[in-house]
Amino acid sequence: MVERVPPPPAQPRSRLRVLLASGAAALALAAGSIVPGVPLGAAPQQAQAADSGKSTLTVAVAQSVDSLSPFLAQKLMSTSVSRLMYDFLTNYDPKDNHAVPALATKWEPSADKLTWTYTIRSDSKWSDGQQATAEDAAWTFNKMMTDEGAAQANGNFVANFKKVTAPSPTQLVIELKEPQATMAALDVPIVPKHVWEKVGDFSKFNNDTKFPIVGNGPFILTDYKVDQYVKLKANKDFWRGKPKFDELVFKTYKDQDAAVAALRKGEVSFVAGSPALTPAQAASLKGEKNVKVNEGPGRRFFALATNPGAQTKDGKKFGNGNKALLDQKVRQALFLSIDRKTIIDKVFQGHAVEGQGYIPPRFSTYFWQPSADQSLAYDPAKAAKLLDEAGYPLKGDQRVGKDGKPLDLRILCHATDPNDKAIGKYLQEWWGKLGIGLKVDCLDNVSVPWYAGEYDLAFDGWSVNPDPDFVLGIHTCGALPVKAKDSATTDNFICDKTYDELYKKQLAEYDPAKRADIVKQMQSWMYDSGYMNIIAYPNAVEAYRTDQIKSIKTMPEAAGNIYGQDGYWSWWSAVPAGSSSSDSSGGSGSTGVVVGIIVAVVVLAGGGLFIAKRRRTTADDRE
């Protein structure tokens, strides 16, 4: 099962070291010394890899794999691995995220916008030698359309499909029910039909029993140990070219500090944050030799959402959101009194960009900024004026409504997110100055009051895809729940005719420039409404060892991030640093042995003295 290179000549020596290290430690434990006795040094693992002549890129990841079946996998870790194992119809350009060829070399819609024809490349082979064809793609989509078990992960992509056929090995035809602009952004791994048609129950098949797994992506998965590691080897036949590293290993580190320690030691080549390294971790790594901290624009936004009055699809109101927030002026006043710059500086400690439109600037095609007169920049005086106009004058130090009740609000915060708590404190201070009371409700799980509409404001955030359709869709009326308190696709109960019309228009618009323009109009509407206030776009902060990775592609190419890219660019492009690293670790290894021997001698001598002393005491006692 496990493809293993024969043990390198250096192995016996390191085995001995491991044996000595383990044995000595066990001895130290048995002898009852609490501070572990320092045994003989063992060379860092990375040196072993270098000895065997294989270049290995080890990536520390926080998530474990939920499934290796692309039909079931939900976690980012698993979907990233799918991206490496199987080719998709299209990929995203690392520069600006526009669709570029992958398994399909060309794609075009019919005149009525309802039929898409894809040309499938003829130079893509499955790792068992068979040709990858349009038949494989058609089979994959049809399976998802007909088998509920196969639709679990990516069913949304085929929801609007009417029929999928493969008239020839290089031609794939997809017929749609309604026009859909996201046809070049179908993030669906295409699997080999001849392997997968043997699968019985798709809802239970995890694709993790037979290795290597047949695929046609840049890497072939060769080994997997639950909760420990995923090993892949470079696919030498990959149509875009073979990856530069021979082997890619994702190693699970459940504790991020331990992962950072592993990077410092050289045990892993790359550490991604989840979603970012903390400012303290980044700062501690910055001075480190052979370590580069990479900071790129994140794909997430961090926002403040107001409750616009929770309602069901058929308009039944529920929840207990504060009525004051139904007034656009009050919502805007709240946002006018948030000093976003302070939040970036103090809470994110500079590792974020000030928020504006709904889509982060990383996705340049869709990024939108308010004009100068539209902008709701920090302006407490204007906020106070708006509150006066809305009928909440200041009485004493409190804003009081027409009903004589003071304006007191609640905000939902994630107890697990320190940023939420810290920002909550700032909001209490700023809004307090304005005369508004704020109760910060930090909960382990905010979803129940959220679905129930029992909140006034909430800290919100989404990871955005290169195609913004999904994050835009969660604010349409169609996303509202059928029954009160049911969870639904809605994020925030927003339902507005203008917005919905724009949403439909953008989805049916096949001209990229025109579509981008509509998406920007939607963001402008959302900004003015005050329902969602984007506070920041947190950066992706990650680090890698320059003595193991010589170069690696970021996305966007100029100053972007590495982990969790759209596409396989980072790991496919990474270039090994050469053999210099094994020299340095060999050196530290021998220093380790010397120090280890000295310490072991001290421990043994100490132990001997201790035992001798004990014997003598027993003899004394006897007398």
- Contact range with other proteins by CB under 8 A, out of 11-19, 84-92, 213-221, 350-358: 11-19
Q: Strand, helix or coil at 166?
A: strand
**Cβ(66)–Cβ(227) under 8 Å?**
no
Q: Within 427-446, which residues bind other proteins (CB under 8 A)?
A: 445
Contacts of 235 (CB under 8 A, 6+ apart): 127, 215, 216, 217, 218, 219, 220, 242, 243
Q: Look up residue 477 and give its DSSP letter.
A: G
Say whether residue 606 binds other proteins (CB under 8 A). no
Please state the closest distance from residue 471 (CB atom) to other proteins, in A. Answer: 8
Choose, by CB under 8 A, the member of 119, 171, 229, 432 that binds other proteins.
229
Q: Which is nearer to other proteins, 43 or 384 (CB)?
A: 43
Task: Provide the angle, in degrees to the nearest 10, between the axes of the packed helices 580-622 and 11-30.
Answer: 30
Contacts with 347 (C-beta within 8 Å, 6 or more apart), sequence order: 419, 422, 423, 426
The residue from 258, 280, 283, 602 that contacts other proteins (CB under 8 A) is 258
Q: Min. distance of Cβ 523 from other proteins in angstroms?
A: 18
Does 69 sit near other proteins (CB under 8 A)? yes
Q: Residue 138 in contact with residue 165, Cβ under 8 Å?
A: yes
Residue 18 CB, shortest distance to other proteins, in Å, is 5
Looking at the Cβ atoms of 118 and 451, the one nearer to other proteins is 451
Q: Please select the residue that binds other proteins; options are 77, 151, 190, 347, rule is CB under 8 A.
A: 151
The window from 127-135, 151-159, 336-344, 502-510 that contacts other proteins (CB under 8 A) reads 151-159
Residue 76 engages other proteins in binding (rule: CB under 8 A): yes
Shortest Å distance, C-beta 505 to other proteins? 19
Which pair of structure tokens corresponds to residue 429? 């201070």
Site for other proteins in 390-409 (CB under 8 A): none
* DSSP bridge pairs for 234: 219
426 contact partners, CB below 8 Å, separation of at least 6: 338, 339, 342, 343, 346, 347
Question: Residues 289, 584: contact at Cβ < 8 Å?
Answer: no
* CB within 8 Å of 369: residues ≥ 6 apart: 356, 357
Least distance in Å: CB of 328 to other proteins? 28
Q: Give the span between the Cα atoms of 564 and 272, in whole angstroms.
A: 9
Q: What's the closest the beta carbon of residue 445 comes to other proteins, in angstroms?
A: 5
Three-class DSSP category at 286: helix
The three-state secondary structure class of 223 is strand
Q: Give the nearest distance from C-beta 493 to other proteins in angstroms.
A: 15
Q: Which residues contact 230 (CB under 8 A, 6 or more apart)?
A: 65, 81, 221, 223, 224, 249, 250
* Binds other proteins by CB under 8 A, chosen from 42, 272, 343, 600: 42
User: Using CB under 8 A, which of 479, 495, 532, 562 touches other proteins?
Assistant: 479
Among 115, 119, 130, 156, binds other proteins (CB under 8 A): 156
Residue 72 in the binding site for other proteins (CB under 8 A): yes
CB 247 within 8 A of CB 57: yes
Which of residues 133 and 269 has its CB atom nearest to other proteins in the complex?
A: 269
Instruction: Provide the token pair at 602.
Output: 């001290």
Residue with smaller CB distance to other proteins, 238 or 493:
493
Among 163, 251, 385, 505, binds other proteins (CB under 8 A): 251
Q: Is residue 159 part of the contact set for other proteins (CB under 8 A)?
A: yes
595 binds other proteins (CB under 8 A): yes
Q: Which of residues 21-40 bind other proteins (CB under 8 A)?
A: 21-22, 25-26, 29-30, 32, 34, 36, 38-40
146 binds other proteins (CB under 8 A): no
**Of positions 170, 489, 521, 546, contacts other proteins by CB under 8 A:** 489
State the minimum distance, in angstroms, from the CB of residue 227 to other proteins.
Answer: 4
Identify which of residues 567 and 589 has a Cβ nearer to other proteins in the complex.
Answer: 589
In 95-195 the beta strands, taken as DSSP E runs, fall at: 99-101, 104-109, 115-120, 161-168, 171-176
Q: Is 45 an interacting residue with respect to other proteins (CB under 8 A)? A: yes
Cβ–Cβ < 8 Å for 619, 613:
no
From 71-79, 395-403, 406-414, 553-561, give the range in contact with other proteins by CB under 8 A.
Answer: 71-79
Helix (H, G, I), strand (E, B) or coil at 14: helix
Member of 110, 122, 228, 498 binding other proteins (CB under 8 A): 228
**Rounded to the nearest 5°, which phi and psi values hold at 43?**
-65, 145
Residue 565: closest CA among 76, 186, 100: 76
Number of residues that bind other proteins (CB under 8 A): 89
Which stretch in 19-27, 352-360, 525-533, 571-579 sits in contact with other proteins by CB under 8 A? Answer: 19-27
Inter-residue contact 523 to 344 (CB < 8 Å): no
Nearest distance from C-beta of residue 54 to other proteins, angstroms:
11
Q: Which residue has the tokens 């470079």?
A: 234
CB 284 within 8 A of CB 305: no
Tell me how far, at minimum, the Cβ of 254 lies from other proteins, in Å.
Answer: 5
Q: Is 544 an interacting residue with respect to other proteins (CB under 8 A)?
A: no
**Closest approach of other proteins to the CB of residue 101, in Å:** 22
CB 462, min distance to other proteins, A = 7
Hey, which residues between 454 and 473 contact other proteins (CB under 8 A)?
Answer: 462-463, 465, 469-470, 473
| Dihedral in degrees, nearest 10, Cα atoms 20, 24, 30, 32 | -170
Task: Report 260-299 residues binding other proteins (CB under 8 A).
Answer: 261-262, 264-265, 267
Q: How far is the CB of 372 from other proteins (least distance, A)?
A: 34
Q: Where does residue 404 fall: left (phi above 0), alpha (psi -120 to 50 degrees), or beta otherwise?
A: left
CB of 416 to other proteins, least distance (A): 9
Task: List the beta bridge partners of residue 117.
Answer: 108, 173
Token pair recorded at residue 6: 């024969």
Q: Indicate the residue type of 64.
A: S
DSSP string, 80-121: HHHHHHS--SEEE-TTT--EEESSEEEEEE-TTS-EEEEEEP
Rule CB under 8 A: choose which of 6, 112, 255, 513 binds other proteins: 255
Binding of other proteins by 579 (CB under 8 A): no
Rounded to whole angstroms, the Cα distance separating 568 from 94 reads: 10
Whole-angstrom distance, CA of residue 164 vs CA of residue 72: 21
* Shortest distance, position 383 Cβ to other proteins, whole Å: 32
CB of 469: closest distance to other proteins in angstroms? 7
Q: Which is nearer to other proteins, 567 or 592 (CB)?
A: 592
Is residue 327 near other proteins by the rule CB under 8 A? no
